[in-house]
Amino acid sequence: MTLVLGIESSCDETAAAVVEDGVRVRSNALHSQIDLHERFRGVVPEIASRSHTTRILPIVDAALEDAGVTPDELDAIAVTSRPGMIGCLLVGLAAAKTLSWLFDKPLVGVDHVQAHLHAAFMTDPDLPTPSVALVASGGHTALYQIDAPGDTRLLGRTIDDAAGEALDKGAALLGLPYPGGPSIEKAALDGNPKTVRLPRSTLSRDSLDFSFSGVKTALLYHLRGNGLERPMPDLDAGEVADLAASYQQAVIEALVKKLRRAAERIGARSLAIGGGVARNTLLRELITADPVLGALHRVFPPMDLCTDNGAMIAGLGTHLWHAEGPVDLTLDAVATARNRR
Ligand code: KG4
Ligand code: ZN
């Protein structure tokens, strides 16, 4: 039996988890900073990294305690080393390196986006491959081909906003609270998605990239006129619901359309989703209803494995430790995502 501690601090969640044999989640401790960033309607990097410094050790303690594991019993310590906000990443890295040195445990650096993809194998270790996967969150929106655990290929990505970011910004325009994804989803329950036809950007005919800046601007123009000549209207709850439903429909349909295109292109045998937007019910419904995607073996990870968490870091960390061995204490944080195709 292997026990790996995973530490995640790349954005606004301080998270740690203990995972057994790469798949069994023994604990998944998390502190969300939503209340700190709410009034700014987005994550403020400096506030986020400062909060991580005070939360990281209590969260690691909670993960070990919930799992009933002492640091000595761990086989390795995995930590998100990229991509993310640099100050945030450095906090998790400093904690992981210190624990690794103190308890003489191997250290493993994990790519956060790859860990979102790996959540598919943690949910279904027999995932048929090639699998097409969508990772959509506040910071990333990309399509991948998964061939095996840790073996993925980038197929396409957003050229501007991430899908979650588009939902967060749309919610701000509609006066809905942060984070926008869940509040748009909630408001949309009472709305008619056909109220306004907002653009679904497809870019070129065969592109697997996404663009979400147009739909956001279209919502702004719908509210304030093409020259922004009108003040922001006072919307009643019914109007907010209709606009939220129309906006959600446009963003989610764009994701599903490219996911289908990618599935056909690679001859996918299965599909997986990850990232905060993967919690969205309309996304899951439209995928299931799609004639191509609905026919594939589908992996929708449990909600707490979709948003940022330590378990996916420990899961991929376990695989990397076995496949590549540990790294040394010079492991550095990298802000950018790997964009190799
Ligand atoms: O993966 P995540 O927790 O953190 C990042 O790496 O960004 O994703 C957060 C994003 C936010 O943009 C949030 O609005 C969106 O995921 N989100 C959702 C839902 N829950 C969270 N979007 C649509 N529907 C949801 N239910
Ligand atoms: Zn994430």
Residue with CA closest to ligand 1 atom 16: 276
Cα 306 to chain centroid distance, Å, stands at 6
Express as a percent the part of the chain with pLDDT over 70: 99
CA distances from 193 to 8, 104, 161, 198 (A): 36, 56, 22, 10
Average pLDDT over residues 308-318: 98
Cα 334 to chain centroid distance, Å, stands at 17
Cα 265 to chain centroid distance, Å, stands at 24
| Closest atom, ligand 1, to C-alpha of 279 | 26
Residue with CA closest to ligand 1 atom 8: 276
Average pLDDT over residues 202-229: 94
Confidence of residue 340 (pLDDT cuts 50, 70, 90): low
At 15 the pLDDT is 98
At 213 the pLDDT is 95
Residue with CA closest to ligand 1 atom 23: 181
Dihedral angle of Cα 199, 203, 204, 206, to the nearest 10 degrees: -100
- Give 308 Cα–ligand 2 centroid separation in angstroms: 5
| Closest atom, ligand 1, to C-alpha of 179 | 14
Average pLDDT over residues 53-57: 98
Average pLDDT over residues 299-309: 96
Cα separation of 84 and 308, whole Å? 11
Cis upstream peptide for 179 (omega within 30°): yes
Domains and CATH numbers, the chain: 3-116+305-324 (3.30.420.40), 128-301 (3.30.420.40)
Cα separation of 125 and 127, whole Å? 6
Cα separation of 172 and 167, whole Å? 9
Does residue 308 line the site of ligand 1, with CB under 6 A? yes
Average pLDDT over residues 276-285: 97
Q: Which of 307, 308, 309 to mutate to test the pocket of ligand 1 (most atoms within 8 A of CB)?
A: 307
